Amino acid sequence: MIQRPRRNRLNPAVRELIRETAVRPTNLVWPAFVQEGSNLRVPIASMPGVSKLSVDQLVADCQRAFDLGVPAVALFPALDDSLKSSDGKESVNPDGLLQRAVTELKKKIPAMLVVTDVALDPYSCDGHDGLVRAGKILNDETLPLLAAMAVSQAEAGADVVAPSDMMDGRVEAIRRALDDAGFEDVLICSYCAKYASAFYGPFRDALNSAPKAGDKKTYQMDPANAREAIREIMLDEEEGADWLLIKPGLPYLDIIRLTREHSALPVAAYQVSGEYAMLKAAAAEGWLDYESCLMESLTSLRRAGADIIFTYGAIDAATILRGAGFAAGRRV
Catalytically annotated residues: 194, 247
Q: Minimum distance from CB of 165 to ligand PBG (Å)?
A: 6
The answer to whether residues 188 and 179 touch, using CB atoms and an 8 Å cutoff, is: no
Q: Which is nearer to ligand PBG, 12 or 125 (CB)?
A: 125
Alpha helices in the chain (DSSP H): 12-18, 55-67, 97-108, 143-156, 170-180, 201-207, 227-238, 253-262, 273-284, 290-304, 314-324
Q: In Å, what is the CA distance from 191 to each residue of 39, 76, 119, 253, 331?
A: 32, 15, 11, 15, 41
Q: Minimum distance from CB of 128 to ligand PBG (Å)?
A: 9
Q: Which is nearer to ligand PBG, 23 or 115 (CB)?
A: 115
Q: Minimum distance from CB of 17 to ligand PBG (Å)?
A: 36
| Calpha distance 155→236 (Å, rounded) | 23
Using a 10 angstrom Cβ sphere, with 0-12 exposed, 13-18 middle and 19 or more buried, the burial of residue 291 is middle
Residues within window 269-328 making contact with ligand PBG, judged by CB under 6 A? 272-273
Amino acid in the structure at residue 38: S
Residues within window 69-128 making contact with ligand PBG, judged by CB under 6 A? 117, 119, 121
Could you tell me how far CA 74 lies from the centroid of its own chain? 6
Q: Beta strands 72-77 and 113-118: pairing type?
A: parallel
| Calpha distance 60→101 (Å, rounded) | 12
Window of 84-92, 102-110, 199-207, 289-297 that interacts with ligand PBG by CB under 6 A: 199-207
The β-bridge partners of 43 are: 51
Q: Minimum distance from CB of 272 to ligand PBG (Å)?
A: 4
| Calpha distance 19→16 (Å, rounded) | 5
Q: Which is nearer to ligand PBG, 46 or 54 (CB)?
A: 46
Q: Which is nearer to ligand PBG, 121 or 236 (CB)?
A: 121
- Residue 149 binding ligand PBG, by CB under 6 A: no
The answer to whether residues 275 and 221 touch, using CB atoms and an 8 Å cutoff, is: no
Q: Which is nearer to ligand PBG, 42 or 108 (CB)?
A: 42
- Residue 203 binding ligand PBG, by CB under 6 A: yes
- Residue 131 binding ligand PBG, by CB under 6 A: no
Q: Minimum distance from CB of 255 to ligand PBG (Å)?
A: 16
Residues within window 159-198 making contact with ligand PBG, judged by CB under 6 A? 164-165
Which residues contact ligand PBG by CB under 6 A? 117, 119, 121, 129, 164-165, 200, 203-204, 216, 272-273
